[in-house]
Amino acid sequence: MASHTSRGLLSLGRISASALGLQRPLSRVTYATNVSTNYSAGKTGLPDRGAGKFARRPRRAPGEPRTEKMPVDQDWTAVYPAAAPFRPGSVPLPVRMGYPVKRGVPPEKKGNLELIKIPNFLHLTPAAIKKHCEALKPFCTEWPSALDTDARCDAHFPIKAESTDYVSAGPSVRNPAARTVHLKVKLSSLNLDDHAFKKMLKLVGERYCRDTDTLTITADRCPLRQQNHDHAMYLLTVLYHESWKTEPWEAEKSVADMEEYSWEDSPSQRNLLDTLVRVEAAGEGGGGGEEVREQLLGRREVQEYKDSVTRLKNEGESESTVMLYKEAVKKVFSLTRTYLMRRMEPGVPRRDVRYHPIRFL
């Protein structure tokens, strides 16, 4: 009886629904008093419309989620064999995601749209990867046993060509990004002398990394990977040969073009030698010319000074390099005995500093 009426009501309900599409809430309101209000735990969803005439088939209660029944040692690759959106009922982890309300916690995973929106890698667990590798093994050849260390690989195969393949499901299997080729070479494996090395650095510019001594040539001008690979090899060959050539205009290289600071012929050397020559002249009052300069250059303190200035300019500035420079300058001008060095030499009998005579005019 109930089922018969419900079916009849259902048909009527459908017609009324199509006719009164927008007015459903209204109709709900109008007939609210006539509707039976016993929403038992099982019955959810729309209230009966119109005195039981438009009542829907009651929905079945959802069963308990699969996570309750999952054993701990299950095969996870069977749960997520391929990339799939996040299913809260299939993932037995108490994950929370989202911005918490005030004095609350992030919302739970059940019905959480944020978790569904983001990409997940539940299909790529280590166990899954292992299975993929096992499946791919029959198609692979063995790694040569002689190439067991990185150093050996670099020695035999100094040029490394890197390119990426893309796989995606779509109307076309082709991906234009697959045509790029990165060629990586260590410049130490190329036969370059000093001039060639510096010229090579100037020619490649940003493509060279000093820390790893690697030159990276990226080619993506041509439509096919093969063509890009050939182009990159051609570029490498041209760079190598060009850097060995010396052009006539390279003689115009100025101090500003130099990669490293060299102390010879620098203003620093000139200043120091000028000062020292004057010091010598004041002390002895004689001599001059080239041999004095040579003699000055040969002194140990001057060499130390040269090292400290070169280090300061090449390696950049830091407290330690500045201190080294200071010590070198003090040694050149023989000021080391005065202040700090006294404290640092415990063997030297300490003259009482307090009664150091003040020099008047």
283 binds other proteins (CB under 8 A): yes
CB of 199 to other proteins, least distance (A): 24
Minimum distance from residue 259 beta carbon to other proteins (Å): 15
Q: Which of residues 329-348 bind other proteins (CB under 8 A)?
A: 329-330, 332-333, 335, 337-340, 343
Task: Give the per-residue contact string, 227-266, with other proteins (x = CB under 8 A; - = no).
Answer: ---------------------------------------x
Close Cβ partners of 122 (under 8 Å, ≥ 6 residues apart): 76, 79, 80, 84, 86, 91
- Pick the piece of the chain touching other proteins (CB under 8 A) from 29-37, 130-138, 146-154, 352-360: 352-360
Q: Say whether residue 284 binds other proteins (CB under 8 A).
A: no
Our finding on whether 356 is near other proteins (CB under 8 A) is: yes
Among 5, 34, 188, 275, which residue interacts with other proteins (rule: CB under 8 A)?
275
**DSSP per position, 82-145:** S-----TTT--S--B-SPPPTT----BSTT-HHHHHS---TT--HHHHHHHHHHHGGGPPPPPT
Map tokens 């993929």 to a residue. Answer: 132
360 touches other proteins (CB under 8 A):
yes
**Residue 186 and residue 212: Cα distance in Å, rounded?**
8
CA separation for the pair 309, 330 (Å, rounded): 13
CB 56, CB 45: distance < 8 Å: yes
Question: Considering CB under 8 A, how many residues would be counted as binding other proteins?
Answer: 40
Amino acid (one-letter) located at 280: E
Residue 176 CB, shortest distance to other proteins, in Å, is 42
Which residues partner with 218 through β-bridges? 182
110 to 67, 115, 308: CA distances (angstroms):
12, 9, 66
Which residues make up the interface to other proteins (CB under 8 A)?
266-268, 271-272, 274-275, 278-279, 282-283, 305, 309, 312-313, 317-319, 322-323, 325-326, 329-330, 332-333, 335, 337-340, 343, 353-356, 358-361
